[in-house]
Amino acid sequence: MKFTIYGSGCAKCNQLTANAEEAAKALGLTYEVEKVTDVNNIIDAGVLRTPALAVDGEIAVEGKVASADDIKKLLS
């Protein structure tokens, strides 16, 4: 499973990354994390609001910091 975090690298982006990792670990999933901070790449991905989280290339969360519980529900 691949998580892609879109954002400037701010505290909210870092929290979203931590929450995604916590959710994956709680579910016993193997994962990798990619962080995209380049504005042009974020726009090319179709992200309009950051922070955003994509799971295996699909945008799952946009414009907010989803909790680990919310991400676990998305992954289940």
The residue from 2, 8, 10, 69 that is catalytic is 10
| Amino acid in position 47 | V
User: CA triplet 36, 73, 3: central angle to 5 degrees?
Assistant: 20
Active site residue 13: yes
Catalytic residue, chosen from 5, 6, 7, 13, is 13
Q: Verify whether residue 31 is a known catalytic residue.
A: no
Report the first-to-last Cα separation within the chain, whole angstroms: 13
List, by residue number, the catalytic residues: 10, 13
